[in-house]
Structure 1
Amino acid sequence: MSDNVLKVENVTMQFGGVVAVDNVNLEVNAGEIVSLIGPNGAGKTTAFNVITGVYPPTNGVVYFEGKKIVENYPRGKMKKLYKTENNGAYTHAIEPTPDKITRMGVARTFQNIRLWSSQTVFENILIAKHCRVTAGLLSATFRMNKLEERRQREECDELLRILGLEGVRNELATSLPYGQQRRVEIARALATQPKLLLLDEPAAGMNPQETQELTAFISRIRTDFRLTVFIIEHHMALVMDISDRIYVLDFGKLIASGTPAKVQNDQRVVDAYLGVSEDA
């Protein structure tokens, strides 16, 4: 039986004539921390958006825990516009919305922090619990769901305690220092009870001390919550320190993959980040 938690198979995301993700294949195994790196505009966030249902891919399939959760193929005008490989390989459309993928057990954060500005840290995290609510409209209206609501509030308080955020429980989330806001956003994703956590540039905008603390924080999350983690990140010290494996995208195509040591010594990766000499 495969250990894959996530498998992306021949995924292409094309916008008009622009191919943002070009026939990408990758796997993330249970318990791993895997990073997706590449220059700005390489297609990393677009790949995350396909995995989490923000965009249906133009072509290809996404599997989660061995089950096909996303599939698409070129249709309509895209039949003529489609530029890349595997046209005709897929014939079905499976296009779940992001909320459905979240309920399957896939949670994510975003490049730009998206906390509710008028709500406390606790309220931001409690909102995420709504994807696990079992009570219907009628029972919620007449407060017949008190036990479930109490349990969810207790779970949020426990999550804050585990992550060291109990001291800011009642603070407005957006009033916190930047590094703590990032932690709150990760805590909110964890509140959905995921099996796979996707982090989109979690160290963006952080100073070296905050980045070092975040590195330890992510490692602890993997261990304490028994999670599989998939990260987009530009901070190479974090990536090399924390990753079991790395995939490298450039202009939408995978150009390298493997252990940190293998990837950082790959000439194609060096060229993608530093550019190729005109004399080369």
Structure 2
Amino acid sequence: MSEKVLSVEDVTMQFGGVVAVNNLSLEVHKGEIVSLIGPNGAGKTTAFNVITGVYAPTNGSVEFEGKNIISNYPRGKMEKLYAGEHKGKYKKVLEPTPDKITKLGIARTFQNIRLFKNLTVLENVLIAKHMRMKANVFADTFLINWKEEKKMKEDALELLRILDLYELKDEKSSSLPYGKQRHLEIARALATTPSLLLLDEPAAGLNPQETDELTDFIRKVRDQFHLTVFMIEHHMNLVMDISDRIYVIDFGKMIANGTPNEIQNNQRVIDAYLGVAEDE
């Protein structure tokens, strides 16, 4: 087994008396494409929000590339309200903000596309590139950082070439077909030079042809940039086609994990999730 890139340990996310994620533990290894699936409201995006620093978990920890980056335990009013497991196991508080998580090497996209609609394709990617900028305000004021700016633009254009978006570089992002907007959102995430890419329902709103193109695009991104991909997705054809392993959660709790073939034949998963789609 290759090295662990991401390790989520006993993570519980509780909002007041509502437990959205309940004692979630999972691993993603280097070079894998791993999917997290489950019914609507199962806690998938909440888990992503914990991993990316949007929420501090109520309890549990997250490790990235062997380093503990997120950790928390029930404190204050939550000590009495806490309804999860492993209450006394964690005693360290690490609550990095999303920008710090991004700088560590974790990038993500969102279920609802969040491009800068009035900016061009190139400008959208350049904004992400600035996250890695080394120059300070003083240097920016006196144009000392022009070499860094030039290099960022060159790198952004090369990224667009690799991803077959170069010809669209001067187009406003809002003018792109929906499928290309999805590709651009992934390109913008790649501009932060991550080693782990989180995709939150990348096929949402795509037609069958666009979904097939996205499947090839994700594989290309993984292989071209030597990335690890962790993905939430409802489109089962995409999930089963592209995933090395799959985790399934229901009501915030893990109910199964395994290869696509194992998941397709897991009766508990069929009853909780896959069977619903077939009945409809």
Q: Aligning the two structures, in what range does the TM-score lie when normalised by the shorter sequence?
A: over 0.9
Give the whole-Å Cα distance in 2 for the aligned partners of 1:115 and 1:46: 21
Q: With structure 2 as the length reference, what TM-score do the two structures score?
A: 0.97
Superposition deviation, residue 131 in structure 1: 1.2
Once the two structures are aligned, what percentage of the paired residues are identical? 69
Q: What is residue 162 of structure 1 aligned with on the other side?
A: 162
Q: Describe how 1:223-234 pairs up with structure 2 within 5 A.
A: 223-234=223-234
Give the whole-Å Cα distance in 1 for the aligned partners of 2:79 and 2:162: 50
| Structure 1 residue ranges (4+ consecutive) displaced by more than 2 angstroms after TM superposition | none
Give the whole-Å Cα distance in 1 for the aligned partners of 2:216 and 2:106: 22
Superposition deviation, residue 193 in structure 1: 0.1
Are 2:138 and 1:115 equivalent residues in the alignment? Answer: no
Are 2:142 and 1:142 equivalent residues in the alignment? Answer: yes
Superposition deviation, residue 274 in structure 1: 5.5
**How many residues matched?**
276
After superposition, the C-alpha distances for 1:94-143 in whole angstroms (9 at most, x for unaligned) are 00000000000000000000001111110000000111000011011101
Q: With structure 1 as the length reference, what TM-score do the two structures score?
A: 0.97
Give the whole-Å Cα distance in 2 for the aligned partners of 1:185 and 1:229: 15
Q: Is residue 2–residue 66 contact of structure 1 (8 Å, CA) maintained in 2?
A: no
Q: What is residue 266 of structure 1 aligned with on the other side?
A: 266
Superposition deviation, residue 174 in structure 1: 1.2
* Paired residue type of 2:204: A
After superposition, the C-alpha distances for 1:153-197 in whole angstroms (9 at most, x for unaligned) are 000000000000011101110111100000000000000000000
Q: What is residue 57 of structure 1 aligned with on the other side?
A: 57
Deviation larger for 68-77 or 2-11: 2-11
Q: What is residue 131 of structure 1 aligned with on the other side?
A: 131
Give the whole-Å Cα distance in 2 for the aligned partners of 1:206 and 1:105: 28
**Structure 1 stretches lacking a partner, 5+ long:** none
1:57 aligned counterpart, secondary structure: coil
After superposition, the C-alpha distances for 1:47-105 in whole angstroms (9 at most, x for unaligned) are 00000000000000000000000000001110000001000111111000000000000
Q: What is residue 9 of structure 1 aligned with on the other side?
A: 9
1:234 aligned counterpart, secondary structure: coil
Give the whole-Å Cα distance in 2 for the aligned partners of 1:30 and 1:160: 24
After superposition, the C-alpha distances for 1:246-278 in whole angstroms (9 at most, x for unaligned) are 0001000000001000011101100111669xx
Give the whole-Å Cα distance in 2 for the aligned partners of 1:117 and 1:192: 19
Q: What is residue 104 of structure 2 aligned with on the other side?
A: 104
Q: What is residue 19 of structure 2 aligned with on the other side?
A: 19
